[in-house]
Amino acid sequence: MNVTITRIFPFLLVVLGVYLWIGYSITELTGGGRKSSAAVDISPEGGEAIYWGKGRCFTCHSVGGQGSAVRGPNHGQFGEKFPLSMGARAVERARERAEKEGVEFTAVDYVVESLASPGAYVVKGY
């Protein structure tokens, strides 16, 4: 039975490796896997699951190189148009907003407002 281990087992591993590679590349090709979205914790991962799942945020937004929708602004750093990350962008917007309206605004306030009532403050170009 030595032969099984030395010759056939590696052969099996190669075959399974090819199988995994096919599964991997096809999944990559077809837009990545889905994540569970029925019930998630309040955590970055949970948010991400909702973003790419039930929340359907990805139909309009992308995050950096992830996703391909361009209807809404990209939520990550991407190209010349989106030099800032989401957090830094929110800080800047909150400041702009506070200046304009004279009300105290934090970055969190801004993000929450954008989610709850997207039309409240629309950035130029959208």
Partner 1 sequence: MGQRQSSGIFGSGANPGRFPRLCLASLLVLGLAVAASPAFALEENVYRQFMGIDSRRLIWFLAQMHLFFGAFVLGVPLFAVIIEVVGWNNKDPKFDNLAYEFTSLLSVAYATTAALGGLLAFALFTLYPTFMGYMAGIFKDIMFLYALLFFGETFALYMYYYGWNWLKGGGLFSTKMQWLFKGISLVIAAFGLALLLGAIGPAMRVDTRWFILLLYILPLAVGFWIIRDRKSSHIFIGILLNVFGTAIMQLANSWAGFMMSPAGVDADGVLVGTVWEAFENILATPIAIHRMLGNLAFGGLVAGAYAAVKFIGAKTAEEKAHYDWMGYISNFVAIAALIPLPFAGYYLGREVYSTSAVMGNNMMGGDFSWTFIIQAMLVGSLFVISNYYLWSGMTRIPGAERYYKFIKYILFALIVSFAIWLTPHNLPLTSQEVGEMAGSQYHPMLKYLGLMPAKNAVVNLIILATFFSFLLYRRGNMEDAVSIRAQGKGARITILIVGGVAIALVAQYAVTMLQMDPAELDLPADRAEFIRMIGYVLVFECLIGIVAIILALTDRGKLGQAIYLAVTAFNVTIFLGVYGFVVMEKASPVLRNVAVSQFLQLISCLVLVAVIDAFLFKRAKSLGGMQWGKMTVRSQYALLLLTFVITMNMGLMGFIRSGLRGDWHIFGIMRDTSDWAYTPSNFVMTQQVGAAVLLFMIGCAFMFWLGGISSKKQED
Partner 2 sequence: MKKPRVGSFLSVVLTLVVVYALVKWGIPALSREVTTLPFPLPVPGTLMFFYMVLTIVALFLFVTFSDEGLNDFLRPVKKFLRGGYTKSLRAVVLTAIPALIGWQVYEITVPKMEVPSSLRIQHPSSNFPKSFEAKKNPIANPTEADVDAFIEQAKANEVDFIPQVRDDVENWAEEVDPDHVLELFPTAAMQKLLAQLQSGDVDKDTARAALLEKNLFEGRALYAMNCRACHGDSVAGDGPMADGFKLRPINFTDNGTIETIVEGYTFWRVANGGPGLPAEATPWDSAMPEWKLSLTEAQRWQIILAEYDLAQKTPRIPESH
Q: Which does 85 bind (CB under 5 to 8 A by kind): partner 2, partner 1, none?
A: none
Q: Which does 106 bind (CB under 5 to 8 A by kind): partner 2, partner 1, none?
A: none
Q: What does the chain look like in DSSP terms, one character per residue?
A: -HHIIIIIHHHHHHHHHHHHHHHHHHHHHTT------SS--SSHHHHHHHHHTTT-GGGT--BTTB----SS--SS-BTTTB-S-HHHHHHHHHHHHHHHH-S---HHHHHHHHHH-GGGS--TT-
Question: 44-63: which residues touch partner 2 (CB under 8 A)?
Answer: 52-53, 56, 58-59
Question: 58-87: which residues touch partner 1 (CB under 8 A)?
Answer: none
Residues that bind partner 1 (CB under 8 A): 1-4, 7-9, 11-13, 15-16, 19-20, 22-24, 26-30, 32-40, 53
